[in-house]
Amino acid sequence: MANFKNSSFALLESWQLRNAVRICAFFALAATILHGAARSGVFENDASFLNKMPGRLASFFGMAADDIQIAGLAQHDPAEIMEALHLKAGDSLVGFDAGNARLALEQVVWIKSASVAREYPNALRIAVSERKAIALWQHGSEIELVDDTGKAMGQPKFVVSGQLPLVTGQGADIAAPELINQISAIEGLLQRVTAAARVGGRRWTLYMDSGVKVALPEEKVAEALQTVWRADQSQALLAKGINLVDMRIKGRMALQVIEQEFADSPNGTAPAKN
C-alpha cells in the first residue's frame, strides 16, 4: 500500500511539474511573440486587426489611459506632453511608472518642473510648470527661445514667440533676462522694442518699432531707458525723423537725424557726393 501511495504522489508531482513547464513555456512563447509584434509596429498599424491591442486588453480590464488630465500649460499643447511620455489616450497603463514619467518630462527643455500621479486603475494626473520665454535668441542661422534665466528652450512652437523681442550678439542669451527686466520696469516700453543687439559683449543697442535705434551705455542702463522714455512721452522722441538716440555718454543724449538725400536736389535725384 505504501509503495502504491508513493507511486501515486510521484506521478502527481511529475504531472504537475510537466504542466508547470508547459505553462511557463507557453507564456515565454507568448511574450516573445508579443515583443516581436510590438517591435514590428503591428500594434500601431491602423490597418492591422491587432491595432491598439494592448490598450484594448488593458481597457477591458480597466487598466487603459482613459482619464488623463494635464494642468499648467499656457504656451504649449497637451500633445507635446503625450509625445514626451510616448503615450496616447487609450494606451495600456500596465507597467506605467509615474516617477520615470516625471523624469522624462523634466528633460523637455521648456518644462521647469513636473509631477505625475497615477490614480488606479485608469487615470493620470499630470501638472507642469513651464519656463517663461522672454526673448528670441538668434545665433548664426538658428533662432531659439530664451527663458528668464538665460537658458535656451529650443525653437519656438507657439504664437507668443511672435510677441517677443529678438536678441542677437555675443552673450545675448545670458544678458537678455537683465535687459528685459529693466525694459519691463517701464510700462509700455517693452511693446515698442522689436530687437536688441549685444555689442562687444558689453552693452545693448535697441531697435524700436518706429525704426529708431537706441544705443545704451554699459552701465546705468535703467537710468538711460528712463531718460529716453520720458523724452518720448513728452516730445514723441521715438516718432520723429531720428535714426539714432545715443545714450553711451553719461548724462548726455546725442541724436542722429535721418539723412534727407533728395531734399536739396531740384530734379529729385540724389546729389553728387565727392
Average pLDDT over residues 5-26: 57
If asked whether residues 83 and 168 sit together in one domain, one would say: no
If asked whether residues 118 and 140 sit together in one domain, one would say: no
If asked whether residues 216 and 239 sit together in one domain, one would say: yes
If asked whether residues 106 and 204 sit together in one domain, one would say: no
In a domain, 2, yes or no: no
Listed residue (125, 133, 75) closest to 102, CA to CA: 125
174 vs 61, which has greater pLDDT? 174
Q: What pLDDT does 228 receive?
A: 95
In a domain, 243, yes or no: yes
Q: What pLDDT does 75 receive?
A: 77
Give the chain's domain count: 2
Q: Residue 172's domain spans which residues?
A: 133-257
In a domain, 36, yes or no: no
Q: What pLDDT does 122 receive?
A: 79
In a domain, 14, yes or no: no
What stretches of 92-220 show up as alpha helix (H) in DSSP?
98-105, 172-184
Alpha-carbon span 176 to 184, nearest angstrom: 12
If asked whether residues 152 and 252 sit together in one domain, one would say: yes
For 33-86, the pLDDT digits (tens) are 555 555 565 445 555 444 444 444 444 334 466 788 999 998 788 999 999 998
248 vs 12, which has greater pLDDT? 248
In a domain, 207, yes or no: yes
In a domain, 45, yes or no: no
Which of 80, 108, 130 terminates a domain? The answer is: 130
If asked whether residues 176 and 247 sit together in one domain, one would say: yes
Q: What integer best gives the mean pLDDT of the chain?
A: 78
Which of 79, 114, 130 terminates a domain? The answer is: 130
In a domain, 5, yes or no: no
If asked whether residues 175 and 122 sit together in one domain, one would say: no
CATH number at 143 reads: 3.40.50.11690
CATH number at 59 reads: 3.10.20.310
In a domain, 16, yes or no: no
What stretches of the chain show up as alpha helix (H) in DSSP?
2-40, 53-60, 78-84, 98-105, 172-184, 221-235
Which of 96, 130, 164 terminates a domain? The answer is: 130
If asked whether residues 230 and 169 sit together in one domain, one would say: yes
- Which residues, 6+ apart, have CB-to-CB distance to 179 below 8 Å? 167, 196, 204, 221
If asked whether residues 253 and 137 sit together in one domain, one would say: yes
If asked whether residues 170 and 236 sit together in one domain, one would say: yes
Q: What pLDDT does 44 receive?
A: 52
Listed residue (153, 82, 89) closest to 116, CA to CA: 82
If asked whether residues 111 and 162 sit together in one domain, one would say: no
pTM of the shown model: 0.64
If asked whether residues 59 and 78 sit together in one domain, one would say: yes
For 105-163, the pLDDT digits (tens) are 999 988 999 999 988 777 889 999 999 889 999 999 999 999 999 999 888 776 566 68
Average pLDDT over residues 14-29: 60
Residue 262 has pLDDT above 70, yes or no: no
Q: What pLDDT does 62 receive?
A: 42
59-81 burial: b if 16+ Cβ within 10 Å, else e: beeebbbbebebebeebbeeebb
Listed residue (187, 269, 138, 88) closest to 146, CA to CA: 138
